[in-house]
Amino acid sequence: MTAGFDAKHALQVDGRVVIVTGGGTGIGKVYSTRLAEAGARVVIADIAGEEGEAVAAAIRDAGLEAISVPTDVSDPDRAQAMADAAEKEFGRIDGLINNASMMSVLPRQSWLKIPLEEWDRVMAVNLRGMFLCCRAVYPAMERQGFGRIVNISSSRFWTGQPNRLHYTTSKAGVIGLTRALSREVGEAGIAVNCITPGFTMSETQAASTSTNYSTGRGDRRVFKRDQVPDDLVGTVIFLLSDASGFITGQTFNVDGGESMH
């Protein structure tokens, strides 16, 4: 056999240090838990500090590795503290999942009714926060000559879903950030990719979604069921692993076939 692609281990994330922003609630909670189960050492960075610590404690109780760092991703000092805590605890940073965003708390309404301060806050969390977290982890990844950044956008980018214009616009910006940043950090051995999840019934989403809104969404999908957080985990692990080693600047749509491109 010739040396080359390690088919047995290419999809493993065992031992890798991965930061999950928004990792204590909603879809992020599932990312954190599943990555720990896969052997990753997880840093849960969530503005909801108590929830983040509860997830980290549950992971540690299972004999796995995780810490919680309360983090407001829109604050540059807090984003830097997140990266510093990861390096202090685990000695390196291999992956960053930019999952934190404002969405479920936003009312669905005409773009004409969006308050300017709400628009600015969505952009501060969903775009500036992602930029700040990427910048915070970059020095560690550059020193290592290795890193995997996975940015979470939304399938609303493909469909132009109305009534949360600020959210949709911010998620379109995530794809532009992904493409441009991948060209800036590639020489350092850092891959930057993006996922566009479909409407996903996480704990937080279920609490904020009316039955009328969710009814019938499956009719537009190839797979006729609700999308759940676990449907995204495989793509996340793939993009953090060596199996995706020559992929960067790309967007992976995971929505059960509702949008195709």
Active-site positions? Answer: 167
Residue carrying the six token digits 């773009």: 111
Strand ranges across the sheet with 66-70: 66-70, 41-46, 17-21, 95-98, 147-152, 190-197, 251-254
What contacts 106, CB < 8 A, 6 or more positions away?
118, 122, 164, 166, 167
Nearest to 26 by CA among 158, 209, 150: 209
